[in-house]
Structure 1
Amino acid sequence: MRVTTEPLPQRQVALTIEVEPERVEQAMRRVARRLSERYDIPGFRRGRAPYEVILRTFGREALLEEAAEDLSQEVYREALDQLGLDPYGPGRLEQLRLEPLTFKVIVPLKPEVRLGDYRSLRLPYAPPQPTEAQIMEVLERLRRDNAIIEPLSEGMAAPGLMVTVALKATDEEGKVVLEEEVSFLLGQEEPPLPGLAEPITGMALNERRTFDLPAPGAEGKVLHVEAAVTGLARYLLPDLDDALAQTVGDFETLEQLKAKIRDDLAAHLRRDYDADYAMRALEALVAQAEIEFPPQMLEEEIDELVSDLRRTLRRRGQELEEHLKARGQTLEDLRAELRLQAEARLRRGLALTQLAREEGLAVSEEEVEAEARAVQERLQVSAAIWEQIAPQVVADIRSRILADRALRRLVEIVRGEAEARPEPAGSLSSEA
């Protein structure tokens, strides 16, 4: 067997495998024996017809084609062993020539990732601090939450009053689109129907009016509205003082309350900043890395995104096919739409995997088992079902923990806080 290789872009290699004639002849004779046992050949008992008779009866090409099918996987595995290749996935038969018997197979190789001098990556780290305006916004919200609402037995709807209105709105076909009692601070809060504040202003307690309003989101159409003011109340905001601080929590002074608000806001801003910072660090790592992967790997990533979307839609009571039909899309359109997202996700995942490798990061079996037990308890599935899904669940848990650990290490690196680099572990793949 003679094997030649041709490197291809995107982590693929073309193998041309030419099988020696003697081996082909032996395979054809095995095929002939099977055919003689399977079919009645005039003048011979089943299984006793000579090879030359089978050859004349069925034709050389038919025997050769079946022999090629028999040999294909066998010689493919031998070729991989001969070259020392460990493919990412199944090879794809690109070409078959019968005389001489030659297979051309496209083999996807495992991805290759070279991170470069990632230990020199740096990003400035400066979490934002809460502004006085943000602190005042929280204080104003606390004032509103602790406002005193004093009902009025008479009067008219005016800005600054809490107004309760019984509404019934119908469209031009008479269909009721809103029927409820609502309360809002007139002139300061958005009413449930745009434009409602103006016709309500000046209405007396228990007064009824009918009027038209523009239909939201439907240019040129109107809603017919019946409104009755069923309640009026003064809305009294507490003063911004120590008494408010004592009302909302275990504080003695307004300054203590403001200090707590400042700390909470700072923690919230830092969480958001840290999440964005980690993603920027990962994008910087991916941008400087050399990452190659076979097309098959990208298609599998798209498969995962499609499956994720299918599960999300099902939770909402919709099937993917219905979703695509409503958008005027085919599955091929969706896959094309998801391609860039899938490629970006794949590159990030490969970069983190390689970083974990080079940094010597690992996940213990105890960690994985503990989380797997928690998942099993949360899902509350039978032992039989768990046995089926456990391998994938465990693999996902291990991958997620390792990725989280790698991302935390990357953040330490770009902030200049990482310890000395461990011994390099090489790239993700060392294949040619």
Structure 2
Amino acid sequence: MRVTQEQRPGSRIGLTIVVEADQVKKTYEKTLRDLTQQVQVQGFRKGKAPRNLVVRQVGKQRVMATAIDDLINGVLPKALEEIKTKPLTQFELDSQLEELFANFSTEQEFTFSGWVEVYPEVEVSEYQGLTVSPTRFFPDPEHVDNTINHWREQRATLLPVEDRPAALGDVAVINYEGFDTEGNPLEGTSGEAFQLELQEDQFLPGFVAGIVGLSLDETKEIESQFPDDYMQESLAGTTVTFQVTLIDLKTKELPELDDEFVQSISNNDFSSVEELKQHLQTRFEREPRSSLKPIWRKRFLMPWWRMSRLICQSL
């Protein structure tokens, strides 16, 4: 692994991380093994299905996304050790999901970049006598259920849909190509067998809404616009007409919320649904105090990074 640092505006440190092809391949293979153990393929016992059938059922995009997530989380701790000052924030990726997909291959190095906040060098002014008004925090009673449902979503099985048009919540597999206002193809706006979960906030504005209602093998023109701050400068702010063909459609089947599911996601740390819920409830009840600290810090008139230790000591 190679790590390059750069000083960014403010107190941010930029990191560009290059992971060797051998490690990329090992991570992908492990991800595929883990998914094989989790996914139930019809006609096979869990964990015994051929890998190509597992990939077909869960979707190539999901396998790749999971592998990328595992790879980044696996190398980040060591990469962050190279920063002399302890980071104040979580690592934030620069790259869009589409760019990570395009850059991912088990036969080559994988490169990604991002940034963290660090303590800036400042002169401390007078701070004695400052006060702050605390904010009360009330835990969301649905937090436990939402967290568990998120884990179920991550382990959903994709089932084919053939008897109805695409709807929100489905997973669409599409071919698409983008054209400018004069009908000329635009570089970087085409894809084949691209898997997209039909959620309103996914991809570009209006793109998902245009796919909803399409039937298999149907083609439609969808107009959308790239954001002004889009990372590919040639497309930033550009209005594009996409020709989109729906080539496959799948729906998510969530795993049953039972004791077996809880044991599988927790590596047997919890034996029952009730035990997991109780653990989450206890954890979420402890979080409000720590969650409020950043809010209180920001209310001080002086830089909070110098006051943080004093605040923590007084809580």
User: When the two structures are superposed, what TM-score results if normalisation uses the length of structure 1?
Assistant: 0.34
Q: Which has the higher strand share?
A: 2
Q: Which has the higher helix share?
A: 1
